[in-house]
Structure 1
Amino acid sequence: MRRFITVAVAAVALAGGTVAVAHASAPPGFVPKNAAWLSASEGFVLGQAGCGQPDLCETLLHTTDGAKTWTEIPVPQLERPDNQYFGFPTVIAASAKRFAVYDNNRIMETTDAGKHWSALAVHANSPSLMIGDVKYFRGKVFAIAGGPEQTDLYAAGPSGLDPVPGVTIHRPVNDVQGTIAGGDALEVSLTNAGQSWPTSTWRSKDGKSFTQQPYPCLAGEAAIYAEHKPGLPIAAICEAVGPSRPGNWDKAMVTAPATGGKVTRAPRAPEIGVVAGFALVSDKVAVMPVTGGGVTLFLRTEDAGQTWTNTFTIDGQVWSPDLAFVNATTAYQTNGTGLYRSTDTGKTWTQISFA
Structure 2
Amino acid sequence: MRLRANPVVVAGVIGVGMPVLAAGVIAGLTVDDGGSGPDSTHAAASAKPTTAAATTAPDAKPVATTVADPEPVGFQPDSINFVSAGEGWVLGRSYPCPSGACQSLRHTTDGGHTWQQVSLPAPLREAGAHDGWLKFADARNGWIGVGNKLFSTHDGGTTWREADIETDALVNGWSLTVTDDSVHVASVQPGERTVLFTSPLSRDAWTGPTEIPVPGAGGPHPTADLKVAGSRAWMVVTNRGQEAARLVDGTWTPWKLPCGGNGPADWHALSEKRLVALCGRVGPYSDGGTTTRLMTSTDGGVTFTETGQLSPTLTADAALIAADATHLVAAVGERLLTSTDGGETWTVGYTAPDRNWRELSGEFVTETNGFVILARPGSTQLATTMLTTRDAGATWTPVVFD
Which TM-score tier does this pair reach, normalised by the shorter chain?
0.7 to 0.9
Aligned to 1:348: 395
Residues 65 and 121 (structure 1), Cα distance of their counterparts in 2 relative to 1, 3 Å cut: same
- C-alpha separation in 2, matches of 1:318 and 1:129: 25
- C-alpha separation in 2, matches of 1:330 and 1:204: 33
1:136 to 175, 178, 187: 178
- C-alpha separation in 2, matches of 1:267 and 1:52: 45
Deviation track 1:206-255 (CA, whole Å, cap 9, x = no partner) reads xxx4543632314322232225258x8221223435179xxxx9643211
In 1, are the aligned partners of 2:74 and 2:96 still within 8 Å (CA)? no
Residues 274 and 156 (structure 1), Cα distance of their counterparts in 2 relative to 1, 3 Å cut: same
Amino acid at match of 2:191: E
Name which of structure 1's ranges 300-309 and 344-353 shifts more when overlaid on structure 2: 300-309
1:278 to 320, 328, 331: 320
Aligned to 1:19: none
In 2, are the aligned partners of 1:156 and 1:162 still within 8 Å (CA)? yes
Residue 96 of structure 1 aligns to a residue in which SS? Answer: coil
2:135 to 84, 87, 92: 92
- C-alpha separation in 2, matches of 1:60 and 1:116: 12
Deviation track 1:266-312 (CA, whole Å, cap 9, x = no partner) reads 46541354344313345454221123xxxx21122345445433211
Residue 226 of structure 2 aligns to a residue in which SS? Answer: strand
- C-alpha separation in 1, matches of 2:169 and 2:371: 37
In 2, are the aligned partners of 1:140 and 1:155 still within 8 Å (CA)? no
Aligned to 1:78: 127
1:217 equivalent to 2:258? Answer yes
Name which of structure 1's ranges 339-348 and 168-177 shifts more when overlaid on structure 2: 168-177
What are the residue-to-residue correspondences of 1:33-44 with 2, within 5 Å? 33-44=78-89
1:339 equivalent to 2:386? Answer yes
- C-alpha separation in 2, matches of 1:161 and 1:172: 27
1:323 to 357, 362, 387: 362
Aligned to 1:58: 103
The number of equivalent residue pairs is 309
Deviation track 1:3-26 (CA, whole Å, cap 9, x = no partner) reads 38xxxxxxxxxxxxxxxxxxxxxx
Deviation track 1:37-71 (CA, whole Å, cap 9, x = no partner) reads 11222111011113651513110111112231313
In 2, are the aligned partners of 1:253 and 1:304 still within 8 Å (CA)? no
In 1, are the aligned partners of 2:193 and 2:211 still within 8 Å (CA)? no
Aligned to 1:14: none
Deviation track 1:164-198 (CA, whole Å, cap 9, x = no partner) reads 33343244673434333456564432244x35xx7
1:162 equivalent to 2:200? Answer no
In 2, are the aligned partners of 1:146 and 1:172 still within 8 Å (CA)? no
In 2, are the aligned partners of 1:151 and 1:171 still within 8 Å (CA)? no
Residues 107 and 161 (structure 1), Cα distance of their counterparts in 2 relative to 1, 3 Å cut: farther
Aligned to 2:115: 69
Percent identity between matched residues is 19
- C-alpha separation in 2, matches of 1:277 and 1:151: 27
- C-alpha separation in 2, matches of 1:299 and 1:70: 30
- C-alpha separation in 2, matches of 1:276 and 1:95: 28
Amino acid at match of 2:281: A
Amino acid at match of 2:163: L
Residues 326 and 200 (structure 1), Cα distance of their counterparts in 2 relative to 1, 3 Å cut: same
Deviation track 1:64-83 (CA, whole Å, cap 9, x = no partner) reads 122313132315133514xx
Aligned to 2:245: 201
Q: Which sections of structure 2, spanning at least 5 residues, go unmatched?
A: 1-8, 13-72, 376-383
Q: Under a length normalisation based on structure 1, what TM-score does the superposition of the two structures give?
A: 0.73
Aligned to 1:11: none
In 2, are the aligned partners of 1:325 and 1:331 still within 8 Å (CA)? yes
Residues 58 and 281 (structure 1), Cα distance of their counterparts in 2 relative to 1, 3 Å cut: closer
Rg: which structure is higher? 2
Amino acid at match of 1:202: R
CA drift at 1:343: 1.9
CA drift at 1:2: 4.7
Amino acid at match of 2:336: F
- C-alpha separation in 2, matches of 1:273 and 1:340: 22
Residues 259 and 219 (structure 1), Cα distance of their counterparts in 2 relative to 1, 3 Å cut: closer
- C-alpha separation in 1, matches of 2:316 and 2:387: 19
